[in-house]
Amino acid sequence: MEYKKLGSTDLEVSSLCLGTMTFGEQNSEADAHAQLDMAVAHGVNFIDTAEMYPVAPRAETQGSTERYIGTWLKRQQRDKLIVASKIAGPSRGFTWIRNGPRINRDHLHEAIDSSLRRLQTDYLDLYQIHWPDRYVPMFGGTSYDIAQEHPTEPIQQQLEVLAELVKAGKVRHIGLSNETPWGVSEFTRLAEQHGLPYVATIQNAYHLMNRTFESGLSEVCRHRNVGLLAYSPLAFGHLSGKYVADSNAHGRITLFPNFGQRYAKTNVPAATLEYVRIAREADLSPVTMALAFARTRWFTNSVILGATTLTQLQENLDSAAVVLPAKVLEQIEAVHRRYPNPAP
C-alpha cells in the first residue's frame, strides 16, 4: 500500500480509503466490522464516513454508519487510523437532520458532537463540509442557475467556527466536498488572510466517466496544495462492467434508481462498453483498471472505495499495486476524447 501526504498536513494516508456509506443499509454491523478489519489488514489507515450516511438517506437509518464504525473503532489503536466524517449542508430536503442542516455555528457544534458520540472517539482527523452551504450545481448538475441562489453563511464565518472545533481538539484538519474552483479559492484565501484553518482536501467525484476535476479544480488544488479524495471511482458500479451484461444486476443503481440519476445519461452505456473492452483486452478486471487510473493521477491523495461484499472489497484492495501500461492509458484517452465526461 502506498501512502501519501494529506494535502498540506503532516498526515500520511493510504492511497486507498475505505468508504462506508453502505453500512446500515446494504451492510449489517457485522459486515461493516468485517470490511474494516479486511481493509486495515491490507494497509488501509484511512476511513471516510458522514453524518447523513447510510445511502440512500432516510430518517430511520441516519447516523447508523457512524455508529457501526464507532463500535469497531473503540477496540482499535486510535492514533494509527485517520478517520474522516462530514457535516451535511442545506438544500437536499434532509429535514430529519437538525430540522434542515446548515453550515453555521449552532449546526457545526451540534453535528461534530453527534458524530464524535456515534464514532466513540474524542476527535476527527479530517472534518469535511459534505456540500456547500451556498447553492452550487452538483450531483449531476452542470450549469450555474442564479435563480437557485439562497441566503448562505459567509465562508469566513464557517471557517471561524471550524477554528473553534480545531481549538477545542475535536478536529485536526478540515476539508471540502462537492466543491467548485471558486469555493476552494475562497476558503483557502480567507484562511490565509485571517489565520483560520486551511483546507487540506476536497472530496469530489472522479472517475473515467467524470474527469471534470481536471479542467479547473486540478489547477486550483495544485497551487493551493489541496488534495483530491476521489469518490465514486467505479461510477456507482458502471465501471465494474456488471451492468453491461445485465442492466438489472444487483447494485445501488437498481436498488436506488433515483439516487443514481447522474449516470442515467446518453453516452454512459457506450463509454462503459469501451472502458470494459480496454480492461479485458489488457487482461485486467474493469474494476482494477478504473481504480488504478483514479489512484495514479498526480492530484489524487486517496481513492475512496465502496463495497458491499468482502469479495468486492478484496478486488478493490488488490488494485493498490497496479500501474496501468502506457498503451492502456492511450486507449483510455482515446475513449475520453470520443465520450468526454458522459456522467459529470
Residues annotated as part of the active site: 53
DSSP, collapsed to helix, strand or coil, labels residue 334 as helix
With a CB cutoff of 8 Å and minimum separation 6, the contacts of 338 are 271, 274
Task: Tell me the C-alpha distance between 250 and 253, whole Å.
Answer: 8
Q: How crowded is residue 287: how many other Cβ atoms within 10 Å of its Cβ?
A: 23
Pick from 17, 28, 25: nearest CA to 71: 28
Tell how many helices (H) and how many strands (E) occur in the chain: 12, 10
The distance from CA 204 to its chain's CA centroid, rounded to whole angstroms, is 6
The angle at the Cα of 79, spanning 74 to 84, to the nearest 5 degrees, equals 75
If you search the block for the grid coordinates 483486452, which residue do you land on? 281
146 CB burial (10 A radius; 0-12, 13-18, 19+): exposed
AA identity, residue 265: K
- Residue 252 phi/psi, 5-degree rounding, is -65, -30
The conformation of residue 15, written as its DSSP 8-state character, comes to S
Identify whether the C-beta of residue 295 lies closer than 8 Å to the C-beta of residue 15: yes
Task: Tell me the C-alpha distance between 292 and 290, whole Å.
Answer: 6
Task: Tell me the C-alpha distance between 325 and 282, whole Å.
Answer: 9
The distance between the two most distant Cα atoms of the chain, rounded to a whole number of Å, is 54
173 CB burial (10 A radius; 0-12, 13-18, 19+): buried
Identify whether the C-beta of residue 317 lies closer than 8 Å to the C-beta of residue 42: yes
**Which neighbouring-strand residues pair with 227?**
201
